[in-house]
Structure 1
Amino acid sequence: MPAPRLMYTRRIRFASVYARSIWSMRAAHPRLERGEGRSKDTEARLNADRSIGEPTMKTQEAIAQHFGLMYQTAAANLDGLTQEQSLMHPSPGGNCANWILGHLTNVQNGVMGLIGEKPVWESGQLTRAGFDPISGAANAIEWNTMRERFLGSKDRCLAAISGLSDRALAESVPHPFGGTTSRAELLHLLAFHQTYHVGQLALSRRIAGLEGAVKGPGQVQKV
């Protein structure tokens, strides 16, 4: 049996010879290198192979899918959470679910305007979800109505996003932090923002003593 080093050396030599032979064939047959002389069936197979893995999802579909997952996860994390539980704060700091959902609703109102839809919920109570935390029942936002309005806006939101034209997505709109951006880029940013805060509601569930709603592969899913 050849020594390991000798076997390795032979493999290297074989690979080198094989590579040189391939390049020699290409040099000898430039028409094949350019793709000339191939049958129609061969060309069709090559084109089909090139198309494998190429993205086919439109921008509208991608944005709608992101918002759809956000709504789906929000519904799971909000399931069974009461007004009283929505006021429980994490320790040593952080916002309660009442503030988080109020903030989500405020921002989603902006999203709806960006896609030509009516707001999720127009209420003066939403001003309580500003820079200061909601610290007690007296300052709380009416939980059941807010949750119902937020989750109830899903179909309108996704339909409006899916119906946007490419021109509308490319239009320049004001950026929240100054300057301008395209409508598509801003929607991507807002979808991320909403999903980030929806994830915080999972912590609110655990603080309230509820089971986590979003499970891993192989577990029973609530979403």
Structure 2
Amino acid sequence: MGNQSNDIEIVKFQVFNNYKIITMNIDGLTHEESMIFPNGEANCMNWVLGHLIYIRNAFLNLLGEESVWDNEKFSCYNRGEIPLDRKDEFVNFEELKNYLKQTQDKLESKLNSLESIDSKIIPDTAGLCLHEIYHSGQCGYLRRILGKEGAVK
């Protein structure tokens, strides 16, 4: 039992701190700025944030919770999509921030109610945390590329 209770603490730490870093990096950006594709084709901030939410929904589902949106309607944010080709489907950046907050509230509430994580889902859980760390770093670079001061000191 000793080990299992550590698993949940590690995941809570990741989810809490990833959210903090993501929100710092998206703070103060307009919808227009979020739609800028660096080099004319690198993923824009709107897509990266939408993609993070898309995958957070998979995380919620893994933990037995409902998604905060209909994945079908927001499929432009799925992995493997070509964001540039689907940019007309992107939603307003402020709306995305609200969805992010909803995923955070649901994740924290679910994680706080668990005493441990089922060992069968540990690899997926770790992969989802890694995915989020990877993209939250991209948000930091995108912020700089958009001419903003770095948010994480």
State if a TM-score over 0.5 links the two structures.
yes
Give, as a single letter, the amino acid of the residue that structure 2 aligns with 1:169.
D
CA contact (8 A) 1:85 1:208 kept: yes
RMSD: 2.4
CA contact (8 A) 1:99 1:134 kept: no
CA contact (8 A) 1:61 1:162 kept: no
The alignment of Structure 1 onto Structure 2 pairs a total of residues equal to 149
Deviations 1:137-172 (A, max 9, x none): 634322211111112321320231233344x512xx
Other-structure match for 1:210: 148
Instruction: Work out the CA distance in 2 between the residues paired with 1:134 and 1:92.
Output: 9
- Superposition pairs for residues 21-32 of structure 1, below 5 Å? none
Instruction: Work out the CA distance in 2 between the residues paired with 1:193 and 1:93.
Output: 21
Match of 1:152 among 90, 96, 102: 102
- Structure 2 gaps of 5+ residues are none
Give, as a single letter, the amino acid of the residue that structure 1 aligns with 2:93.
W
CA contact (8 A) 2:54 2:71 kept: no
Other-structure match for 1:190: 128
Cα shift at 1:105? 1.1
- Structure 1 gaps of 5+ residues are 1-54, 171-181, 216-223
- Superposition pairs for residues 92-131 of structure 1, below 5 Å? 93-122=41-70, 124-130=72-78, 131=81
CA contact (8 A) 1:114 1:183 kept: yes
Instruction: Work out the CA distance in 2 between the residues paired with 1:204 and 1:86.
Output: 9
User: Which protein has the larger Cα radius of gyration, Structure 1 or Structure 2?
Assistant: 1
Higher share of residues assigned helix: 2
Instruction: Work out the CA distance in 2 between the residues paired with 1:125 and 1:62.
Output: 32
Q: TM-score, normalised by structure 1?
A: 0.60
Q: TM-score, normalised by structure 2?
A: 0.84
Match of 1:79 among 7, 20, 27: 27
Cα shift at 1:206? 1.5
Instruction: Work out the CA distance in 2 between the residues paired with 1:103 and 1:159.
Output: 22
